[in-house]
Every structure is written in C-alpha cells, then in structure tokens.
Amino acid sequence: MRFSIWFASAVLIAFLFGSVDAARCQLPPAQRQLKTYTLSNSPKSADISPDERLVVTEYIEKREGQDSATNTFVDFVRLWDFKGNKLIAEFGAPQSDEKAVKGHLYASGASSGRFVRFTPDGKSVVALIDGTIHVLRATDLIELRAIPLVKPQSFTRTVRNRVRVIEPSIRTMEISPNGNLIAVLWLREMTHGSIQLYDLSLAESILSWDTPQGWISHTRELVWHPDGKSLLLAIPNAIPCMSQGGQPDAFAFDVQTGAIEHEFTTGLLVGSIAVNSDNRVLAVDRNCIGVLKNHDPMLKVFDLTTGKNIRKVSGRGSGVRYWVSASADGSRFLAFTGKMRVKFDWGDALPYGVPVDETFSVWSLVNYEGIVTSQNIPGLRGSEIRLSSRGNYAVSYGKASFVYELP
C-alpha cells in the first residue's frame, strides 16, 4: 500500500515537473503535405544551389560486362533543374580499384565516401569521388581541377597476438563558408579519426590533425562555423543502445592550428550538430529507444563558448532524433521528428526503435517558432537531409530521395 502511494506520488511529481519543463520548450509545428520533386537513381549525395534553382546529385551506375568479373562502375555527377525535372549537365568519373599512387596518394572505391556540394557563391560544384576532389564548373560540370586525397596512416590493433591493419575511410566532407577550403573527416578506426583541410586554390592539403578519442564511427557530419574560423564535430561517448559517459562530446577546432577551442558535454548520445553565427549549437540524440527511457529526447541548444544548455525543442511524442541541419543564412533549422515505437531483440537482449511514421520538422532559428512538419516519408530515417542556403527547400538522399518545397 505504501509503495502504491509512493509510486503514485512519484508519477504525479514527474508529470508536474515534466509539464513545467515542456512549457519552456517549443512544440513541433503542424503537419502538412509538402510539394516534393523526386530525385532519380537514389543518389549517394545531393545539394541545392545557393539560388535554390538547381540540385546536384551523385550516384553510381553499374555497367554489365560479359561476366561479373568484367562489370564496371561509373560515378556520375548530375546537375538538374529539379522543378522542371530537366538534366542540365553531367560529369562521369570511372571507379578505380584501391591502389597507391606515387606512394602517398589514395583512391579507393570501397573506402571512399561520395559527396557533392555547391560552393557558397554557386560558381562551382565540389565532388569527392573515389578518393579525389573534383572541382567542377557549376554551369556545365566541366572539370577545372582534380585533387587526390592524402591517405592518413593506417591504424593497427593487436587482438589475440594477431596484428590487424585497419585502413582509413572517408566519413564526410564540407566546404568552408568562403569556398576556399575543403574539410574531410577520415575514420581511422571506430574510435579514432582525423580531419584534413585542402586549399582549392593551391590544390593541396594544408593541415591535418587527429580528433579526440570517442565513437567517431557514429558521427554523422562535421560543420563549419559561419565565420569560417572553426570546425565543429560531435563525437559520441558510446555506441547506440549503451549508456553514454560524462566526457565532452562536442568540439570546436581552430582551422589555423587544429587545436580544440571549445568543448562541452551534451548529455546526449550525440551524432549530429549544427551551428549558427551567434554561437548557438543545435544537438540531437541518436541513441536507441529504451524499454523505460529515451522515448522522447529533445533537441538541445547550447552556447558554444560556455557549453550551457540554453533551450530545448520538443518532437511529436518520440523526440527529435538522428540528424539536424541549419540553413546557411541562419534563418531555419530542421530535424527528424518521426514517431517511433519500441521493440525488443531477445537474441541480443537490446531494445530498438521501429518507425510509426517518418517526418521532419522545420523551425525558425531566430525565435524557435514552428514552421512545418512534413508528411510521412518512408525511408527518411535511413537517409541524409539538408536545408538549402536560404531555408526555402530541403533535399534528402539515400532511401528517400526528394527535394521538398517549404512554406
């Protein structure tokens, strides 16, 4: 009897305090049907031009040979008028085998990520394909220069008296706000990474440094500060479905030296962040849904210089999760707000989330007012999504490949 009274009191207190906390948080915007434009061939990467008229995509096309041993693959970068579904230009790069060039340069189909980005002025497209940065003219995708990446040192690990060599792989790439530098994040092992900076005008690597140890294999992206002076990276303290530690997991690096300028602890199993010009950092959780916990994690907003949590943003009942993206002009941000239900894997003795629906929501980055929540988009959770520079469009690629027109 006493336990029942205590339990009921605890639930009531939790409800009251939870209600107060929720009142301080911005609720998700109303759901509506967004106009979409389909991207063909399920691209590996995509980006919207700064003037929001074009989209660039990257995908791999398989070309059948006489037998499986003679099959070839070609990477295509394509420029589209997405509203008219009109192909403007195309660039093709044959996929090479993994090999060393001049003993230092690196090209690998298996280990190399594929990324395409418009430069902030819209004059060029930068494509990272097969271990090479291709700088293309944005009007017709004519190649202006190619920059082979410099391979970081391999990582060695000894397990049961056997030495295992782990080759680096490319996690992501982003262009600086002034369009002069390319940042490439390499994974050297599940808990070790490194960042390289490439100067587009010099066509060479100018700086590299190792990242703090952590589960960087679960990091989604790195982001440039709008002032171009620092790079931000979230490195989870644990793998999904495990309890996170209390160590710093969000870092800002000085791009002149690679030194850590700021670091703080989010309290999330964080894998995706965004930053705006006044040093607000947005962070979302990528942890599993537990049986009794982590059912409704909120997006957290931090002050970069102090690490203080200054705001929380609510989801639609299952939290704000997996990825967050902010527009370059600092006007809007979006994040995954799909509804989830928990299931339990009795074999691994771990809970996991199953989507009920898959949506994203858009808020004002000025005052946090909700703008719109999308319709259900099957496959969205397993895709990447980006806001356009002005925040009027979003593009997702992977399992769900669309351009979305936002109100």
Domain CATH code at residue 183: 2.130.10.10
Q: 1 and 74: one domain?
A: no
Looking at the structure, do residues 314 and 372 belong to the same domain, yes or no? yes
The pLDDT value recorded for residue 306 is 97
In a domain, 168, yes or no: yes
pLDDT at 104: 38
**What residue numbers bound the domain in which 203 lies?**
1-30+160-401
Whether residue 244 is found in the same domain as residue 371: yes
The verdict on residue 37 lying in a domain is no
**How many angstroms separate the CA atoms of 274 and 154, rounded?**
30
Residues 185 and 59 grouped into a single domain? no
pLDDT of residue 28: 77
pLDDT number for residue 71: 72
Domain count, the chain: 2
192-199 sheet: strands from edge to edge: 169-175, 181-189, 192-199, 204-210
Q: Are residues 97 and 202 in the same domain?
A: no
The confidence score (pLDDT) of residue 93 equals 86
End of a domain among 112, 133, 151? Answer: 151
Query: Of the residues 151, 171, 190, which one is the last residue of a structural domain?
Result: 151
Q: What global pTM score does this model have?
A: 0.86
Per-residue pLDDT tens digits for 202-258: 999 999 999 999 999 999 999 999 999 999 999 999 888 777 778 999 999 999 999
The predicted pLDDT at position 6 comes to 41
Indicate whether 35 belongs to any domain: no
* Res 66: pLDDT: 65
- Angle at the Cα of 68 (from 63 to 72), degrees rounded to 5? 30
71: left (phi over 0), alpha (psi -120 to 50) or beta: beta
Q: Is residue 132 part of a domain?
A: yes
Cα 353 from Cα 241, distance rounded (Å)? 10
Same domain, 181 and 121: no
Assess if residue 233 is contained within a domain: yes
On whether residue 406 sits in a domain, the answer given is: no
- Shared-domain flag, residues 223 and 343: yes
How much is the pLDDT for 73?
81
pLDDT digits (tens, 9 = 90+) for 40-80: 999 999 999 999 999 999 998 877 766 666 677 889 999 99
Please provide the DSSP assignment of 277-339 as one string: TTSEEEEEE-PPPPSSS-SSPPEEEEETTT--EEEEE--SSS-SEEEEEE-TTSSEEEEE---
Q: Mark whether 177 and 51 lie in a shared domain.
A: no
Q: Is residue 198 included in any domain, yes or no?
A: yes
pLDDT value for 353? 77
Domain check: are 319 and 259 in the same one? Answer: yes
In our burial notation (b when 16+ CB lie closer than 10 A, e otherwise), range 367-406 reads ebebbbbbeebeebbebbbbbbbbbbbbbbbbebbbbbeb
Boundary residue ending a domain (94, 125, 151):
151
- Does 36 fall in a domain? no
Query: Are both 179 and 276 inside the same structural domain?
Result: yes
Same-domain status, 289 and 183: yes
Q: Quote the pLDDT of residue 108.
A: 36
- What is the full DSSP assignment across 171-231? EEEEE-TTSSEEEEEEEEETTEEEEEEEETTTTEEEEEEEPPSS-GGG---EEE-TTSSEE
Same domain? For 357 and 387 the reply is yes
DSSP strand E in 104-160: where? 105-107, 115-118, 124-129, 132-137, 143-150, 155-159
- pLDDT < 70 regions, the chain: 1-27, 65-70, 94-112, 290-293, 347-349, 351-352
| Closest CA relative to residue 405, chosen from 5, 52, 88 | 52
